[in-house]
Chains A and B, each alone.
Chain A
Amino acid sequence: MSTDQTSTIQISQSAHQGGQAGKPSETREHWYLEPDGALRARVSNLKFWYADGTQAIDDVSMPLVDKKVTALIGPSGCGKSTFLRCFNRMHDLYQGVKYSGSINLLPEDENLIDLDANIVRMRVGMVFQKPNPFPKSIYENVIAGLKIRGIRKREVLDEIVETSLRQAALWDEVKDRLHQPALSMSGGQQQRLCIARALAVKPEILLLDEPTSALDPIATAKVEDLINELSGNVTVLIVTHNMQQAARISNYTAYMYLGKLIEYNDTNDLFQRPKCQRTEDYITGRFG
C-alpha cells in the first residue's frame, strides 16, 4: 500500500496538470490534488491503530492548506473522525493506541506525532460533535484555555472574551449575561460558545468534528456562516456527514472510505467532476 504512494502522487500531479476533467476513470483508485496555496501541514502515510488492534487509518496522505477550510467526508465508520482526532492527539488519552507516518506542520517542519501531546493540543484547537461547555459561566468558558496557559490579567481576558464571542457571532446574544451558566443556553449557542472557547487561544489549526450534527437548521446555518468567516483567517479541518454542508463551507474536500483517502480535491471539482468512481458513487447517493 505504502509503496505506490509516490506513484499515486505522480498520477494526481499529471492529472492536475493535464486538467483531465469529466468522466471518472473506472480504474482510478485514488486521486490527490496538489493544491497551489501555502500549506499548514502535510500528512504522509499516516496509519493509526486502536488499542484492540483495529486499523482505523490506512496510509493516508494529504495536504492541509493554510487558512482554508478542508472538509472530510465519507460514510460512517470510514475513519474521518479518527483521522481528525490524530491532529490534536486526542487518541493519546486512551491506552494502547499506535500511530505511524507523519503529520508535518509547515513551514516549521515538525512531525506532530512526535511532539508532546499537551503542546500539540495547545496549538491545535478542537470543537466536538456534541456541544460540551464546562458547567461554569459563559465568561469562564471562553477564558478556560487562557487560564490553562496562565493568562490571568483581567483586561486581557475581558478583551479576548469580547473578540472571541464576536468572532463566534454570539456576542450580541450573550453580552448581558456573560456570568450566567453556559448550560442555560440553547444547543446552538452552546456550540458557538465552544467555537469561541477554541478561538480564544488563537489555534494554529481548528478541528471541527461534525459541529452541527446536534443542532437544528437555524443554528446550523449560523455555525456554517461562522466557518465561512473563519476561512481566510484560520486553518480549519472539518468532519461532516452532510455533503451539502461540505460543498457550502469548504475550499477543499477529502473523501475517505474504509480508513483510506480516496480523493482529495478542490471542493467544487470533487462534487461536480469527481475523479474516482467511488467518490462519484458516494456523492451521487448510490452508496453510503
Chain B
Amino acid sequence: MNTMSTNIQSGIDYASISRKNRSWDIIFASLGIVVLFIAISTLLALFLDLAIRGAPQWTNPDFYTSFPSRKPLEAGILSAWVGTIMVMLVTAIVAVPLGVAAGLYMEEYADKNWFTDVIEINVSNLAGVPSIVYGLLALGLFVQTFGMGETVLVAGLVLALMILPIVIVSTRESIRAIPIELREAAYGLGANQWQTMAMYMLPAAKPGIITGAIVGLSRAIGETAPIITIGALSYIAFLPPSPIGGDFPFISFEWLNSGFTVMPIQMFGWVSRPQADFQITAAAAGAVLIVMTLAMNGLAIYIRYRARKS
C-alpha cells in the first residue's frame, strides 16, 4: 500500500500530503458550519420569538383588516401594510429606471476620466451614508423647501434615493459580468450602441439587475429612520385613496399626496406604548414584516436561479 502511494522517482509520500490537505478541509468546513449555525439560529430565534409572542394577533384575520386602535388587541396593521406597498411602489418606480439608466450610462457610455472616477467613488460612498441623513435631506428638501408634506410620495422618493446606489452598482456589475464576446458579436453584426444595449446587453444583465433592485427594495421595506424623520405618523386610521376606480380615467394619483404609515413605523409606535398587550401586537407586526422581507429576498433568489438554469 505504501509503495502504491509513494512516488517511485522522487520518494515523496503522496498519502501523507493528501491526509494533511484533507485535515485542513475538515477544520475549515467545521468552522464554517459553526459560524453559519450561529448566524442562522440567531435570526431564527428572533423570528420565532416574535412569531410566538405575537401569535394571538397574527393568527387572527382581523389583524390584517383593522386599523390601529387604542385597545391593543383590536389594533391591526391594515393602514401599515397598504402604506408599505404604496411606498415600495413609488420607490421601485423611481429607483429602478433611474438606477439602471445611471449604471448603464456610467458603464457603457461615459468616457473614463477623472470626472467619472469622482462620480463613481461618490456613488459607492452614497451606499454607505446613514439612512437618517437621507431622512434629513428629504425633510429639508421635499417637506420644507418644496412643501410636499408627509406623504407617500415623499417617503417613496427618500427610500428611492437611499437604494439608488445599490441599483446603480448592481446594474454596473451585471453589465460588466457579460462576456466580452457577446458585446463584440453584437457590434460585429453592425448594431449601434443603443441596439447593442437594448437588444443584447440589458437582457443579459436583467437577472442581475432585478436581483439588485429587489435586494435594495428589501432594505428599504424595513427602513424606519428616514420615514420617522420626514414625520410619518404611527396612528393612521384611514387608507390612502385608491389608485384605480372612481371617475374617468379611473386612475388617480391622489394616493401619492396622502398621509400614510408603514410597517416598521407602526411597529415602532406600538413598542413605545406602555400597555403590555401592545407588545403582542408589535411582535406580530414584526413577524409579518420579516416574512415580507424574506418573501422579497426569496423572489430575488428564485429569479437568479431561473436565470442560471436557462
Partners in one complex: yes
Indicate whether A128 reaches chain B with its CB closer than 8 angstroms. Answer: yes
B181 with A132: CB separation less than 8 A: yes
CA distance A201 to B188 in the complex (A): 12
Given known pairs A95-B111, A95-B112, A134-B200, the reply for A149 and B190 (CB within 8 Å) is yes
CA distance A193 to B111 in the complex (A): 34
Which listed residue, B184, B191, B200, touches A128 by the CB 8 Å rule?
A: B184
A135 with B189: CB separation less than 8 A: no
Q: Which residue of A lies closest to B179 (CB)?
A: A132
Chain A residues with CB under 8 Å of B190's CB are 118-119, 121-123, 145, 148-149, 201
Q: Which residue of B lies closest to A123 (CB)?
A: B190
Indicate whether A88 reaches chain B with its CB closer than 8 angstroms. Answer: yes
CA distance A150 to B87 in the complex (A): 41
Which listed residue, A128, A147, A181, A201, touches B185 by the CB 8 Å rule?
A: A128
Chain B residues with CB under 8 Å of A198's CB are 188-189
A201 with B189: CB separation less than 8 A: yes
Q: How large is the interface on B (under 10, 10 to 19, 20 to 34, 35 or more residues)?
A: 20 to 34
Given known pairs A134-B200, A147-B199, the reply for A126 and B181 (CB within 8 Å) is no
B195 with A93: CB separation less than 8 A: no
Which listed residue, A132, A133, A135, touches B184 by the CB 8 Å rule?
A: A132
Chain A residues with CB under 8 Å of B189's CB are 121, 125, 144-145, 148, 197-198, 201
A90 with B187: CB separation less than 8 A: yes
Indicate whether A222 reaches chain B with its CB closer than 8 angstroms. Answer: no
In chain A between 215 and 269, which residues have their CB closer than 8 angstroms to a CB of chain B? none
Task: For residue B112, give the distance in angstroms from its CB to the closest CB of chain A.
Answer: 7
Q: Which residues does B use to contact A, with CB under 8 Å?
A: 111-112, 179, 181-192, 195, 199-200, 204, 310
Q: Which residues does A use to contact B, with CB under 8 Å?
A: 88, 90, 93, 95, 118-119, 121-123, 125-126, 128, 130, 132-135, 144-145, 147-149, 181, 194, 197-198, 201
Show 28 A/B contacts (Cβ-Cβ < 8 Å), sorted by A.
Answer: A90-B187, A93-B184, A93-B187, A95-B111, A121-B188, A123-B190, A125-B189, A126-B188, A128-B181, A128-B184, A132-B181, A132-B182, A132-B185, A133-B185, A134-B182, A134-B186, A134-B200, A135-B182, A135-B204, A144-B186, A145-B190, A147-B199, A148-B195, A148-B199, A181-B310, A197-B189, A198-B188, A198-B189
